[in-house]
Amino acid sequence: MHTLNIQSIFENIEFYKKNYIQILKNPQQYYQPVEDASIKFSIVSCQALYLGDLLQLWFGHKWTSSYLEKLESLDHHFWYQNKALVDESFYIYAFGRDKKTNVLTAKVWIEKLNQSSYIQLHTDSLPFYLSFITLDRPDHDHHQSKAS
């Protein structure tokens, strides 16, 4: 199966918006791999994210700059570090913890600048993890058996 990259997704974002529901229902489309898209919330787990996962998280406003602003308004100890992104809209596509500092780091796509960047988050990863585990995914086994 063809691996997408974040830039190509955003170059065709209108297509994904228009076909969003169809993508969520079709395992072959949903489970398209996306380069560098993953979550690593502990030292022993790394979970790949697929096209359908990212679309749900972005279009549901869960892994976006607007979601971080909501978290910040609820928790005054919450912050994210990357001064260049303060006024930019961005979409998170990967999470991990820095091994040395144990700081939560996210890879983001900055819409206006058409480029990837990193942010550091001073927060617990729980809100982001919960957003991920509550995704409604089509049956992956059915997809795998069709591909065989």
pLDDT tens track for 51-71: 999 999 999 999 998 887 777
CA distance 110 to 112: 6
Confidence (pLDDT) at 145:
38
| Residue 144: exposure state from Cβ atoms within 10 A (0-12, 13-18, ≥19) | exposed
Which two three-digit tokens encode residue 119? 């942010």
pLDDT tens track for 19-55: 999 999 999 999 999 999 999 876 667 889 999 999 9
pLDDT exceeds 70 at position 80: no
| Strand intervals (E) in the chain | 33-42, 45-50, 79-81, 90-97, 104-110, 115-122
What radius of gyration, in Å, describes the C-alpha atoms of the chain?
15
Across 10-24, 81-95, 99-113, 121-135, which has the greatest mean pLDDT? Answer: 10-24
The DSSP 8-state label assigned to residue 3 in this structure reads P
CA distance 105 to 39: 10
Average pLDDT, the chain: 83
